[in-house]
Amino acid sequence: MPGGKHILGKPKGPKIFGTARVGDRGQIVIPKEARSFFGIQPVSWLTDPSVLMFALVIFTLWADVGYNTIIFSAGMDGIPNEFYEAADIDGANAFTRFVKMTIPLLARTFVFVIMMTLISHFQMIVQFMVVVVKGGPNNAATVLSSYIYQQAFVSNNMGYASAVATVFFVLIMVVTAIQQRVNRVDWGY
């Protein structure tokens, strides 16, 4: 938007999520007053196999929010001001400008963010190997990238791990090609 002043503003994560923090035993710690008011019991996010994968997916999405925000901010700053000036002259309100101008003009940014997020989520070995030790309880957090690591470096089965990694690479390429085809943007500004 004009002058780089757009909807994103300053990061608000620490202000919004300051009352909930991850505890040292993998529990979301909510102040006692809030728990008693809402009747919430503590959940062992990293030790309960039924919620472990969900917790790691939420953690990974949260970790990507900052990067994606910067990319979208740069994309919005790259939209020429003349488009917004023309919309103002035509009498478009802020919502109409956002829905009919900003979002379509961010199509390439959306494609890039979707592709990079998808690829990074395919390669989530850091979250699954560091946050959850050895695949978690009952191997609830074992994903393909950590399985490749276990086969190669724990079981010393390099040939099998290389074959699985090659299939993983082909899978990422196929998904990327499909994503590129579906999200093709044939215009520019």
Q: Above pLDDT 90, what percent of the chain? A: 33
**Choice among 49-58, 69-78, 100-109 with the minimum mean pLDDT:** 49-58
Q: What is the pLDDT of residue 65?
A: 86
**Nearest partner of 101 among 117, 90, 111, judged by Cα:** 90
- Asked whether 1 and 84 are in contact (CB, 8 A), the reply is yes
CA-based max dimension of the chain: 68
Complete domains list, the chain, with CATH: 2-182 (1.10.3720.10)
Query: Mean pLDDT over residues 160-186, rounded?
Result: 88
**How many residues belong to the chain?**
189
The two tokens of residue 107 are: 């199509």
Using the 8-state DSSP alphabet, how is residue 46 labeled? T
Q: What is the pLDDT of residue 37?
A: 78
Q: Name the pLDDT band for 71 (thresholds 50, 70, 90).
A: very high
Compute the distance between CA of residue 90 and CA of residue 128 in angstroms, rounded to an integer: 51
Considering 64-68, 100-104, 175-179, the range whose residues carry the highest mean pLDDT is 100-104
156, 162, 168, 170: CA torsion to nearest 10: 180
Using the 8-state DSSP alphabet, how is residue 39 labeled? T
**pLDDT single digits (tens) 95-123:** 999 999 999 999 889 988 988 888 888 77
**pLDDT single digits (tens) 123-154:** 777 666 666 666 677 777 778 888 898 899 99
